[in-house]
Amino acid sequence: MRLAQGIDKEIVDTLLYAQKEGKTITKFTDQYPELTINGAYDIQHQLIETYMRTGVKRIGVKLGLTSKAKQKMIGINEAIYGYLLHNMLAYEWEPIDGRKLIHPKAEPEIAFIMGEDLQGTTITAKDVLHVTAYVAPAIEIIDSRYENFRFLLPDVIADNCSSSAFILGSKWIKPSALKIEQEGVVMTKNGEVQTVGAGAAVLNHPAEAVAWAVNKLGERNDGLKKGEIVLSGALTEAIAFGHRDTVIAQFSSLGSISFHCK
Protein backbone atom coordinates (compact mmCIF):
# COMPACT_ATOMS: atom_id res chain seq x y z
CA MET A 1 0.00 0.00 0.00
CA ARG A 2 1.29 3.47 -0.93
CA LEU A 3 0.92 6.64 1.10
CA ALA A 4 -2.09 8.74 0.18
CA GLN A 5 -1.40 11.70 -2.08
CA GLY A 6 0.15 14.63 -0.24
CA ILE A 7 1.25 12.65 2.82
CA ASP A 8 4.88 12.54 1.67
CA LYS A 9 5.01 16.35 1.53
CA GLU A 10 3.45 16.52 4.99
CA ILE A 11 6.17 14.21 6.32
CA VAL A 12 8.92 16.24 4.63
CA ASP A 13 7.58 19.48 6.11
CA THR A 14 7.42 17.89 9.58
CA LEU A 15 11.00 16.62 9.28
CA LEU A 16 12.24 20.03 8.12
CA TYR A 17 10.67 21.63 11.18
CA ALA A 18 12.10 19.01 13.55
CA GLN A 19 15.60 19.18 12.09
CA LYS A 20 15.81 22.97 11.94
CA GLU A 21 14.27 23.60 15.36
CA GLY A 22 15.73 20.64 17.22
CA LYS A 23 12.26 19.41 18.20
CA THR A 24 11.06 15.87 18.76
CA ILE A 25 8.26 14.31 16.76
CA THR A 26 6.27 11.08 16.93
CA LYS A 27 7.48 8.40 14.55
CA PHE A 28 5.54 8.40 11.29
CA THR A 29 4.93 4.65 11.22
CA ASP A 30 2.51 5.09 14.13
CA GLN A 31 0.19 7.09 11.87
CA TYR A 32 1.27 5.61 8.55
CA PRO A 33 2.10 1.91 9.08
CA GLU A 34 2.02 1.50 5.29
CA LEU A 35 5.25 3.53 4.95
CA THR A 36 7.78 1.24 3.26
CA ILE A 37 11.56 1.41 3.05
CA ASN A 38 11.41 2.47 -0.61
CA GLY A 39 8.79 5.06 0.26
CA ALA A 40 11.02 6.32 3.07
CA TYR A 41 13.92 6.77 0.64
CA ASP A 42 11.58 8.74 -1.65
CA ILE A 43 10.79 11.03 1.29
CA GLN A 44 14.47 11.31 2.21
CA HIS A 45 15.32 12.39 -1.34
CA GLN A 46 12.54 14.98 -1.31
CA LEU A 47 13.87 16.27 2.01
CA ILE A 48 17.40 16.67 0.61
CA GLU A 49 16.11 18.30 -2.58
CA THR A 50 14.19 20.80 -0.45
CA TYR A 51 17.37 21.73 1.42
CA MET A 52 19.31 22.05 -1.83
CA ARG A 53 16.74 24.44 -3.29
CA THR A 54 17.61 26.80 -0.42
CA GLY A 55 21.31 26.77 -1.31
CA VAL A 56 22.49 23.91 0.91
CA LYS A 57 24.98 21.72 -0.96
CA ARG A 58 25.32 17.96 -0.94
CA ILE A 59 28.90 16.96 -0.11
CA GLY A 60 28.61 13.22 0.32
CA VAL A 61 26.87 10.17 1.69
CA LYS A 62 26.72 8.41 5.06
CA LEU A 63 25.98 4.80 5.90
CA GLY A 64 24.21 3.29 8.87
CA LEU A 65 23.54 -0.20 10.22
CA THR A 66 26.74 -1.53 8.64
CA SER A 67 27.31 -4.06 11.42
CA LYS A 68 26.20 -7.57 10.46
CA ALA A 69 25.54 -8.32 14.13
CA LYS A 70 23.27 -5.31 14.47
CA GLN A 71 21.46 -6.13 11.21
CA LYS A 72 20.75 -9.63 12.49
CA MET A 73 19.61 -8.27 15.84
CA ILE A 74 16.95 -6.02 14.32
CA GLY A 75 16.01 -8.40 11.51
CA ILE A 76 17.31 -6.68 8.38
CA ASN A 77 19.80 -7.82 5.76
CA GLU A 78 21.35 -4.62 4.46
CA ALA A 79 22.63 -1.23 5.53
CA ILE A 80 20.93 2.15 5.08
CA TYR A 81 22.21 5.42 3.66
CA GLY A 82 21.62 9.14 3.95
CA TYR A 83 23.23 12.31 2.63
CA LEU A 84 25.85 14.68 3.98
CA LEU A 85 25.19 18.40 3.50
CA HIS A 86 27.76 21.18 3.72
CA ASN A 87 26.19 22.68 6.85
CA MET A 88 26.70 19.37 8.70
CA LEU A 89 30.49 19.68 8.53
CA ALA A 90 31.86 20.72 11.94
CA TYR A 91 35.42 21.54 12.98
CA GLU A 92 37.55 20.33 15.87
CA TRP A 93 38.42 23.88 16.91
CA GLU A 94 34.78 24.95 17.17
CA PRO A 95 32.69 23.53 20.04
CA ILE A 96 29.50 21.69 19.15
CA ASP A 97 26.46 23.68 20.28
CA GLY A 98 24.50 21.28 22.45
CA ARG A 99 21.49 23.59 22.51
CA LYS A 100 20.70 22.54 18.94
CA LEU A 101 20.74 18.81 19.74
CA ILE A 102 18.05 16.52 21.17
CA HIS A 103 19.66 13.24 22.24
CA PRO A 104 23.00 13.16 20.38
CA LYS A 105 25.41 10.26 20.07
CA ALA A 106 28.89 10.02 18.56
CA GLU A 107 30.34 7.29 16.33
CA PRO A 108 33.93 6.87 15.07
CA GLU A 109 34.10 6.22 11.34
CA ILE A 110 36.52 5.96 8.44
CA ALA A 111 35.76 8.53 5.76
CA PHE A 112 36.44 7.94 2.07
CA ILE A 113 37.26 10.99 -0.07
CA MET A 114 36.45 10.26 -3.68
CA GLY A 115 39.11 10.95 -6.33
CA GLU A 116 36.79 10.19 -9.26
CA ASP A 117 33.08 9.89 -9.99
CA LEU A 118 31.64 6.45 -9.29
CA GLN A 119 28.23 5.18 -10.37
CA GLY A 120 26.70 1.83 -11.22
CA THR A 121 24.86 -1.16 -9.83
CA THR A 122 27.66 -3.75 -9.95
CA ILE A 123 30.35 -1.79 -8.12
CA THR A 124 32.80 -3.76 -5.96
CA ALA A 125 35.02 -2.85 -3.02
CA LYS A 126 37.98 -3.05 -5.42
CA ASP A 127 36.32 -0.41 -7.63
CA VAL A 128 35.82 1.83 -4.60
CA LEU A 129 39.45 1.58 -3.50
CA HIS A 130 40.61 2.29 -7.06
CA VAL A 131 38.84 5.67 -7.18
CA THR A 132 39.30 6.70 -3.54
CA ALA A 133 41.86 9.49 -3.21
CA TYR A 134 42.17 9.33 0.58
CA VAL A 135 40.73 7.83 3.72
CA ALA A 136 40.52 9.91 6.89
CA PRO A 137 39.32 9.65 10.50
CA ALA A 138 35.88 10.99 11.27
CA ILE A 139 33.33 11.26 14.03
CA GLU A 140 29.67 11.38 13.11
CA ILE A 141 27.14 12.94 15.45
CA ILE A 142 23.74 11.33 15.04
CA ASP A 143 20.61 12.84 16.55
CA SER A 144 17.26 11.28 15.77
CA ARG A 145 14.34 13.67 15.84
CA TYR A 146 11.95 10.99 17.13
CA GLU A 147 10.65 11.00 20.69
CA ASN A 148 12.68 8.83 23.08
CA PHE A 149 14.93 7.71 20.21
CA ARG A 150 12.18 5.25 19.19
CA PHE A 151 11.54 4.54 15.52
CA LEU A 152 11.21 1.84 12.88
CA LEU A 153 13.50 1.50 9.88
CA PRO A 154 11.35 3.59 7.48
CA ASP A 155 11.24 6.38 10.07
CA VAL A 156 15.01 6.62 10.42
CA ILE A 157 15.55 6.48 6.64
CA ALA A 158 13.07 9.30 6.07
CA ASP A 159 14.88 11.33 8.76
CA ASN A 160 18.07 11.12 6.62
CA CYS A 161 19.35 8.35 8.88
CA SER A 162 19.57 10.59 11.97
CA SER A 163 22.18 12.81 10.30
CA SER A 164 23.20 15.83 12.34
CA ALA A 165 26.90 16.72 12.04
CA PHE A 166 30.32 15.22 11.41
CA ILE A 167 33.93 16.12 12.06
CA LEU A 168 36.61 15.15 9.53
CA GLY A 169 40.16 14.60 10.78
CA SER A 170 43.22 16.23 9.28
CA LYS A 171 45.26 13.09 8.62
CA TRP A 172 44.40 11.89 5.12
CA ILE A 173 46.08 8.70 3.88
CA LYS A 174 45.97 6.93 0.53
CA PRO A 175 43.93 3.75 0.96
CA SER A 176 46.80 1.62 -0.33
CA ALA A 177 48.96 2.80 2.59
CA LEU A 178 47.07 0.94 5.31
CA LYS A 179 44.91 -2.12 5.91
CA ILE A 180 41.60 -0.38 6.38
CA GLU A 181 39.80 -3.41 7.77
CA GLN A 182 42.46 -3.70 10.51
CA GLU A 183 42.39 -0.02 11.48
CA GLY A 184 41.58 0.17 15.16
CA VAL A 185 39.96 2.92 17.22
CA VAL A 186 39.51 3.74 20.89
CA MET A 187 36.83 6.29 21.77
CA THR A 188 36.96 8.15 25.08
CA LYS A 189 34.65 10.63 26.79
CA ASN A 190 36.18 13.01 29.31
CA GLY A 191 39.27 10.80 29.45
CA GLU A 192 37.47 7.51 30.09
CA VAL A 193 37.39 4.72 27.51
CA GLN A 194 33.85 4.18 26.22
CA THR A 195 34.26 1.78 23.32
CA VAL A 196 36.79 0.16 20.98
CA GLY A 197 36.52 -1.24 17.48
CA ALA A 198 38.11 -1.86 14.10
CA GLY A 199 37.39 -1.38 10.41
CA ALA A 200 36.27 -4.98 9.99
CA ALA A 201 33.15 -4.15 12.04
CA VAL A 202 31.85 -2.37 8.92
CA LEU A 203 30.67 -5.20 6.63
CA ASN A 204 34.11 -6.85 7.13
CA HIS A 205 35.73 -3.99 5.18
CA PRO A 206 34.55 -0.35 4.95
CA ALA A 207 35.06 -0.35 1.17
CA GLU A 208 32.38 -3.05 0.96
CA ALA A 209 29.97 -0.66 2.65
CA VAL A 210 30.82 2.14 0.22
CA ALA A 211 30.32 -0.24 -2.72
CA TRP A 212 26.90 -1.20 -1.34
CA ALA A 213 25.96 2.49 -1.11
CA VAL A 214 27.05 3.19 -4.69
CA ASN A 215 24.98 0.27 -5.96
CA LYS A 216 21.90 1.43 -4.03
CA LEU A 217 22.35 4.96 -5.35
CA GLY A 218 22.75 3.50 -8.83
CA GLU A 219 19.27 2.00 -8.59
CA ARG A 220 18.04 5.61 -8.45
CA ASN A 221 20.36 6.76 -11.24
CA ASP A 222 22.59 8.46 -8.69
CA GLY A 223 26.19 7.97 -7.60
CA LEU A 224 29.22 9.55 -5.97
CA LYS A 225 31.04 12.57 -7.37
CA LYS A 226 34.73 13.44 -7.28
CA GLY A 227 35.51 15.21 -4.01
CA GLU A 228 32.52 13.82 -2.13
CA ILE A 229 32.94 12.35 1.35
CA VAL A 230 31.53 8.98 2.37
CA LEU A 231 31.15 8.08 6.04
CA SER A 232 31.43 4.33 5.70
CA GLY A 233 29.78 3.30 8.98
CA ALA A 234 30.45 3.13 12.70
CA LEU A 235 33.44 1.10 13.91
CA THR A 236 31.89 0.88 17.39
CA GLU A 237 28.62 1.39 19.21
CA ALA A 238 27.51 5.02 19.38
CA ILE A 239 28.08 6.80 22.70
CA ALA A 240 25.81 9.44 24.19
CA PHE A 241 27.25 12.82 25.17
CA GLY A 242 26.03 16.11 26.56
CA HIS A 243 27.03 19.60 27.58
CA ARG A 244 30.69 20.04 28.60
CA ASP A 245 31.67 16.57 27.37
CA THR A 246 34.81 16.04 25.30
CA VAL A 247 34.95 13.04 22.97
CA ILE A 248 38.17 11.76 21.37
CA ALA A 249 38.58 8.97 18.83
CA GLN A 250 42.16 7.67 18.65
CA PHE A 251 42.82 5.61 15.53
CA SER A 252 45.80 3.28 15.19
CA SER A 253 47.11 4.80 11.94
CA LEU A 254 44.79 7.69 11.09
CA GLY A 255 45.59 9.75 14.19
CA SER A 256 43.07 11.28 16.55
CA ILE A 257 39.99 13.41 16.16
CA SER A 258 37.93 15.11 18.84
CA PHE A 259 35.15 17.55 19.67
CA HIS A 260 33.85 19.39 22.71
CA CYS A 261 30.17 20.05 23.38
CA LYS A 262 29.43 23.43 24.90
- Calculate the alpha carbon distances from 24 to 10, 18, 66, 147, 150 in Å: 16, 6, 26, 5, 11
pLDDT at 158: 97
Say yes or no to pLDDT of 236 above 70: yes
pTM of the model: 0.95
pLDDT interval class at 202 (50, 70, 90): very high
Instruction: Determine the average pLDDT of the residues in 31-52.
Output: 96
> What are 53-81's pLDDT values in tens digits?
999 999 999 999 998 777 776 777 889 99
* DSSP states of the chain: -PPPTTHHHHHHHHHHHHHHHT--B--HHHH-TT--HHHHHHHHHHHHHHHHHTT--EEEEEEE---HHHHHHHT-SS-EEEEEEGGGEE-TTS-B-GGG-SS-EEEEEEEEEESS-B--SS--HHHHHHHEEEEEEEEEEE---BGGG---HHHHHHTGGGEEEEEE-S--B-GGGS-GGG-EEEEEETTEEEEEEEGGGTTTSHHHHHHHHHHHHHTTT--B-TT-EEEEEESS--EE--TT-EEEEEESSS-EEEEEB-
How far is the C-alpha of 209 from the C-alpha of 195, rounded, in Å? Answer: 21
> What are 114-124's pLDDT values in tens digits?
999 999 999 99
User: Check: CATH 3.90.850.10 for 7-260?
Assistant: yes
pLDDT at 6: 83
> What are 237-246's pLDDT values in tens digits?
999 999 999 9
